[in-house]
Chain A
Amino acid sequence: MNSRTVFVVDDSLITVRKLVQMLEDLGYKVVGFAQTGNDALAKYRELQPDLVTMDITLPDMSGIDVVRRILEQDSKALIIMITSHGQEKMVVDSIEAGAKGYVMKPVKPEILKETIEKVFTAYGVNA
């Protein structure tokens, strides 16, 4: 287990559970999760994770808006989008908003790890 922390945001509880298990199996420490944008914003302030995985579609606001608002709080926040195909335009919007990468559903552990490690390496977050 390394000490790098991850915060999971997704409206689907089963996806949250799957991602948490996958991230823990990959050696990351999951410090919390949120299923709405407002909850994500509140918990981000409290948890200060090294990285956030962010769903694009949330019930109260879009994941893109959450990305923007987290970055307003913390300009160094590292966020990757978890998205389905067919949402490419929204992925582009997310990256323009400040997300550092994306992973397509269904999420494969090797792709998730590769994406997270690229972001951590690029922004100097060490294990």
Chain B
Amino acid sequence: MKREINPEIPELMLTEQDLLRFLDRLLHRSRVFLEEEGNTRVLGVYPTDRTLDRIDLKAITAILTVEDRLRLIVAFSLEQSLLESVFKGYAGGIPMKSDEVEFLMEETAGDCINIVVGNALEEFQLSGYAFTVSTPIILKEGKSIQRYKQSKFAAGEIHTEAGNMVVLCINPGIYYKRTLDLEVAE
């Protein structure tokens, strides 16, 4: 699925301002998804005006990478109660067996990040840059992540009637595995 990279065009490394601007688009699009697709009322959106050194993840985290010339990790970390609420709205009465519920709930988190990142990338207008978006992975582990070397962390929070969610961007993401563990030995 990876396309060839033109070596004459350098990897895009976002400035702190661009990263925060992209985070703003992600937060906006996440709110739209939570309300329109997840039928969950948003109480407040809290962007940040600076990058951070550490992030604490919540119970469920959906992660995807935007690769090629733009190398960026995006993670949506949700409280379990929020995921359950979004799942109820998103699944909207589709037939399912009781032993499928947990898996379909995780797929809902994956669909959420996939759709939101796609919409945010379009609004961010990265025309001229070729990139591919990975399939999402789901992490079920509330851990802390430390910033490493030149990587920048931008994160904002969304508070809803059903619980809270953290939206995190890491750029460049080359120092991290897709599980958000460090790729390189410190």
Contacts and interface: CB of A to CB of B under 8 A. Distances in A.
B133 A11 contact: no
A15 interface: yes
B118 A105 contact: yes
Contact of A85 (B92, B93, B122, B131): B122
B115 A105 contact: yes
Residue from A12, A85, A87, A88 whose CB has the most chain B CB atoms within 10 Å: A85
Interface string B85-109: 0000011111110001001100110
B135 interface: yes
Interface in A10-51: 11-15, 17-18, 21
Given A57-B1, A85-B119, A105-B118, A12 B110 contact: yes
Nearest to B122: A85
Given A17-B94, A84-B114, 4 more contacts: A14-B108, A18-B91, A85-B119, A86-B122
B121 interface: yes
Contacts of B130: 89
A106 interface: yes
B94 A84 contact: no
A17 B95 contact: yes
A62 interface: yes
Interface of B: 1, 33, 36-37, 66, 90-96, 100, 103-104, 107-108, 110-111, 114-115, 117-122, 130-133, 135
B62 to A, nearest CB: 12
Contacts of B36: 106
A85 B121 CA distance: 7
Given A105-B114, A106-B37, A14 B104 contact: yes
Nearest to A84: B118
A90 B133 CA distance: 11
Contacts of A105: 111, 114-115, 118
9 contacts: A12-B110, A14-B94, A15-B111, A17-B104, A18-B92, A21-B95, A84-B115, A85-B122, A86-B119
Nearest to B100: A13
A59 B115 CA distance: 18
Contact of A13 (B1, B107, B120): B107
B118 A87 contact: yes
B118 A12 contact: no
A57 B133 CA distance: 9
A14 B122 contact: no
A92 to B, nearest CB: 12
Interface string A100-119: 00000110000000000000
A105 B111 CA distance: 9
B1 A18 contact: no
Nearest to A83: B118
A18 B114 CA distance: 16
A90 B132 CA distance: 9
A125 B115 CA distance: 31
